[in-house]
Structure 1
Amino acid sequence: MNVRKIVSQVEEVLTEGGRPVEPAARVAVVAAVFENPWKGQGFVEDLSTGIDDVASPLGELLAPRVVELLGADVEAYGKGAIVGLNGEIEHGSGLIHTLKFGDHFRKAADATTLLPAVEKRGPAGIIFDIPLKHKTDATVRSHHQTIEVRIADAPHADEIIVALAASAQGRPQQRLAALTTEK
């Protein structure tokens, strides 16, 4: 895995709806920008070799960083893969939609649910939103949220961005009724 850069971002919401948020709502993102392992190969029928080589080391690299950057217990989490214009969306999906990748984050966050995800292809500077859900119960509405990410010079055409996001709480000032109230 040829990593060009790692980008970290922390968002702290101090006020929402004109009211203070105490403690501040905190979301962290850590993203790796790296060379697409299928670069220049044309259509690859079996992606398993690249997945085997990259997915687990990538999860091992990112998961502890995002938990440490959050600086609190993870309550919600998500992931994203953005593929440069010369790649396929399936390249990013193949790397993040495997237990080889995701189990690193589940273990670091003490989580059990599937990680919500975004995958897309785009040019350098593309904006993408990582969805987050509660780490043990994806039906907990208060934790359904997104974090916007943009890396000005990535991905290059033959690169992929893979990012993990973690939240220490649900949405600031959330007040939707529990899903069970609609059943």
Structure 2
Amino acid sequence: MGCAGGTDAAEPDRTGPVRLAVIIGSTRAGRSGEGVARWFADRARARADLEVDVVDLADFDLPARYLCAVTPGVAAFIGRVERADAFAVVTPEYNHSFPASLKQAIDYAYDEWRAKPVGFVAYGHGSEGLYAIEHLRTVFTELHMATVRGRVTFDLLASDGGPPVQDGALERDAEAMLDQLAWWGLALREARAARPYVS
């Protein structure tokens, strides 16, 4: 992993709703990610079984170089990852993959990701972000995460460059993925509390 590594914080005792971190993966000026994340987070907040934390990568000072000392910005980001039970990554598709800003952030944490579920909300021009999702699945699998089957994808051109509005199919996709994240989030939280995850 490198000299910075993860944190040594113990897994906190967790009860109540599954803590879902909705990560905005793009930091580009003029991005659509904020609106898409807001749309998705609103649906998650309507559920009693989820507690939502929107984690915007643009809010963190993550160094471009991987340093041996953990900076305050990196520590803040890792702390948000560590507190979450499950993740929904909101990502655009750039050149048939996901943004460099997202990969950089993912790599700053390690143990904090492990044995937790992750789902994807992706958008693009034509491909609906599907290539970004497939690349992210391989990255998160390497981090010992459970990638849920459900996903939310749409074409920015078809939705006038913004988040989807009153689209029944997308609403159903979002609810299905949230069901899966809530189930896996609770199941894996209980499993981590019962026994340490294998190295």
TM tier relative to shorter chain:
0.3 to 0.5
Richer in strand (by share): 1
Q: TM-score, normalised by structure 2?
A: 0.35
Please give the TM-score of this superposition, normalised by the length of structure 1.
Answer: 0.37
